[in-house]
Amino acid sequence: MLPQTIEELDGIRTFCKSEVKKRAIVVSGLAMIPVPGLDLLVDIGTLGELIPKINRRFGLTPQQIEELDDLKKATIYEMLKLAGAEFVGKSITRRLILTVLKRSGKRMAAKRMLRYVPIAGQAAAALLSYGAMIYVSNSHIDACYGIAKAAMERRTA
């Protein structure tokens, strides 16, 4: 169900951003372990779990959207098109997450190389991992917030 008030919407955004920070700390810690491919598996697994939870909180999973009446559904789909959001209202697959992560390819390549430099490199890899997780997740939260807010405003107008 879509949030009904701006206060509820703001609370959801605050909660989601808090959850993202917690997950980003864990992911960055795991990025320090110099095992080939581990960081990518952790990133994909974490985003694969986190993104659907964010969608659900905002009432924007494909199932939740389909349960809306036709007018609300049309409004959401119009907002999705305008926003160009990558994960909102979609079923999240590993392939979709990998596509988004590949766009930050230079960062990912740098992270992989840095992990093998003792201490300083591993710390840098952890920071890059943290930054990437925060960026991708918070961008998604902001897209969900904008779509839910626009849909809410359209309902009241």
Cα→Cα distances 14→20, 21, 152, Å: 10, 11, 18
- Tell me the pLDDT of the chain averaged across its residues: 80
Q: Is pLDDT of 112 > 70?
A: no
pLDDT in tens, 45-98: 898 899 899 999 999 988 888 888 888 888 787 877 776 566 676 666 666 666
**Tell me, what's the pLDDT at 145?**
93
Q: Is pLDDT of 110 > 70?
A: no
Q: Is pLDDT of 119 > 90?
A: no
Which range among 12-21, 104-113, 117-126, 143-152 has the greatest average pLDDT? 12-21
**Cβ pair 57, 21 in contact under 8 A:** no
Three-state secondary structure string covering 20-78? HHHHHHHHHHHHCCCCCCHHHHHHHHHHHHHHHHHHHHHCCCHHHHHCCCHHHHHHHHH
pTM for this one? Answer: 0.77
Q: Is pLDDT of 28 > 60?
A: yes
**Tell me, what's the pLDDT at 44?**
83
Query: For the ranges 7-16, 78-87, 122-131, which has the lowest average pLDDT?
Result: 78-87
| Residue 128 pLDDT grade (very low, low, confident, very high; cuts 50, 70, 90) | confident
> What span, in angstroms and rounded, lies between the C-alpha atoms of 62 and 56?
9
